[in-house]
Structure 1
Amino acid sequence: MIGPNVTLATPMHPLLPEERNIRKREDGSFYNLEYAKPITIKDNCWLASNVVVCGGVTIGEGCVIGAGSVVIRDIPPYSLAVGNPCRVIRKITEKDHMPDGIAKLQTDR
Structure 2
Amino acid sequence: MNPDLRRTHEFAKPIDIGSDVWVGGGAIVCPGVTIGSKSVIGAGSVVTRDIPAKTFAAGNPCRVIRDITE
1:84 is aligned to 2:64: no
- Greater Rg over alpha carbons, structure: 1
1:62 is aligned to 2:38: yes
Shift of 1:68: 0.3
Q: Quote the residue 1:21 is aligned against.
A: 2
Structure 2 spans left out of the alignment, 5+ residues: none
- CA–CA distance in structure 1, aligned partners of residues 58 and 49 of structure 2: 12
Structure 1 spans left out of the alignment, 5+ residues: 1-19, 25-29, 95-109
Q: TM-score, normalised by structure 1?
A: 0.59
Q: Which amino acid aligns with 1:56?
A: G
Q: May I ask how many residue pairs the two structures share in their alignment?
A: 70
Over the matched positions of the two proteins, sequence identity in percent amounts to: 56
The structure whose RCO (Cα within 8 Å, separation 6+) is larger is: 2
Q: TM-score, normalised by structure 2?
A: 0.90
Alpha-carbon RMSD across the aligned residues, in angstroms, is 1.8
For the residue of structure 1 that corresponds to 2:49, the secondary structure is: coil
Task: Map 1:1-109; keep pairs closer than 5 Å.
Answer: 20-23=1-4, 31-94=7-70
Detail structure 1 runs of 4+ shifted over 2 Å in the superposition: 30-34
